[in-house]
Structure 1
Amino acid sequence: MFREKFTLDKAYFRECFDESLPLSDRAKPKYPLLVFLIVLATLSWVVVKNQYLASFLALMAVLEVVAFVYRKPWWVARQMLSRAAGSLVVLDMDNDGIKAVNPYKQYQFLWSEIVAAEQTDKGVVLKTKRGMQYISRAAISQQAFDFILEKTKI
């Protein structure tokens, strides 16, 4: 019914991250892990009196904070290093579902498998039991975008 084509480039990956993050469980830092590491570091320093272990645990907490702060550039860089980066994606949408194919990966979502569809400012995030998939409004026609929204009304 609809066939759309777009390229997986850095701008698409950045938009994908920005629009998907608020709907993800990774939007907040891992506070329990940070508290646990800091408490262990303090106990290692004070009770066990092992400065090396305390320093290691404190550095693990710092590394966790750095990983959270730089999660977007790290995720985008990993996507850009993947072999799918720069490839052309062909998105087919019909009454059965959505099928996306590029030279390195393909996936298909039946409309019945989609448990939620969240419209964002720039696209739509489709949630299934397997995970989330973002589709940018800029990458497809307005008719195709409206078709997705109509089919995913839950």
Structure 2
Amino acid sequence: MSLSTSYTLDKAYFYECFDESLPYSKQVNPKYGLLALLICLGLVAFYILQRHYLGTFMFMLALVECIAFYYKRPWWVTRQMLSRAAGSEVTITFDESGIHAQNPYKSYQLTWQDINQVINTPRGFLLSSKKGMQYVSKHVLDDEIITFLNKRATQ
């Protein structure tokens, strides 16, 4: 049995992908350790070493890290929209051996043995493997594919 569907990689899809994947990623919290280190180094450079430029530089790096965390969603979506795959049509096929996705610029295949976990999110499925995570939205899938993936998620 082979089930296929197609969808377009547009801005709405990328926003949904980011929103649904974020709770399962390592970037869900700021890098508190890095921020504390940069601030401490800035204080040491500023007050102990009397290197005001170096201290200011460390404080600015900490500020840039905070800004990067705050704007990570629009930054990630912008990077995806600037890729050549943006706007292309993806055809994804689900069968008993695994998942095969193809667009004009990239093709990948995941076997069910490679997939560690199928996570059912409110708006889609996250497929976790050694290579990373792949997201598939439920609004591009028909009921038969959703049932198939739900069965895989419980195995």
TM-score range, shorter chain: over 0.9
**Alignment correspondent of 1:151:** 152
CA distance in structure 2 between the partners assigned to 1:8 and 1:2 by the alignment: 20
Evaluate the alpha carbon distance shift between residue 84 and residue 8 of structure 1 in structure 2; reply closer, same or farther with a 3 A threshold.
same
**Alignment correspondent of 1:52:** 53
CA distance in structure 1 between the partners assigned to 2:88 and 2:72 by the alignment: 23
**Alignment correspondent of 1:13:** 14
Equivalenced residues, count: 154
Aligned-residue Cα RMSD (Å) equals 0.8
8 Å contact kept, 1:111–1:152:
no
Matched-pair identity in %: 45
How far does residue 118 in structure 1 lie from its aligned partner after superposition?
1.2
Instruction: Look up the SS of the partner of 1:15 in the other structure.
Output: helix
Deviation track 1:60-90 (CA, whole Å, cap 9, x = no partner) reads 0000000000000000000000000000000
CA distance in structure 2 between the partners assigned to 1:107 and 1:84 by the alignment: 13
8 Å contact kept, 2:120–2:153:
no
CA distance in structure 2 between the partners assigned to 1:115 and 1:145 by the alignment: 18
How far does residue 41 in structure 1 lie from its aligned partner after superposition?
0.1
**Alignment correspondent of 1:128:** 129
Instruction: Look up the SS of the partner of 1:108 in the other structure.
Output: strand
CA distance in structure 2 between the partners assigned to 1:143 and 1:51 by the alignment: 64
Deviation track 1:70-128 (CA, whole Å, cap 9, x = no partner) reads 00000000000000000000001111000000000111111111111111110011100
Letter matched to residue 84 of structure 1: A
CA distance in structure 1 between the partners assigned to 2:111 and 2:154 by the alignment: 14
**Alignment correspondent of 1:92:** 93
Task: Point out where structure 2 has 5 or more consecutive residues left out of the alignment.
Answer: none
8 Å contact kept, 1:13–1:79:
yes
When structure 1 is superposed on structure 2, of 35-44 and 139-148 the one drifting more is: 139-148
8 Å contact kept, 1:114–1:152:
no
Letter matched to residue 70 of structure 1: Y
Kindly report which structure 2 residues correspond to 1:32-111, keeping only aligned pairs within 5 A, or say none: 32-111=33-112
Instruction: Look up the SS of the partner of 1:90 in the other structure.
Output: strand
Which segments of structure 1 move beyond 4 Å, counting only runs of 4 or more? Answer: none
TM-score of the two chains, using structure 1 as the length reference:
0.98
TM-score of the two chains, using structure 2 as the length reference:
0.97
8 Å contact kept, 2:118–2:152:
no
CA distance in structure 2 between the partners assigned to 1:13 and 1:49 by the alignment: 46
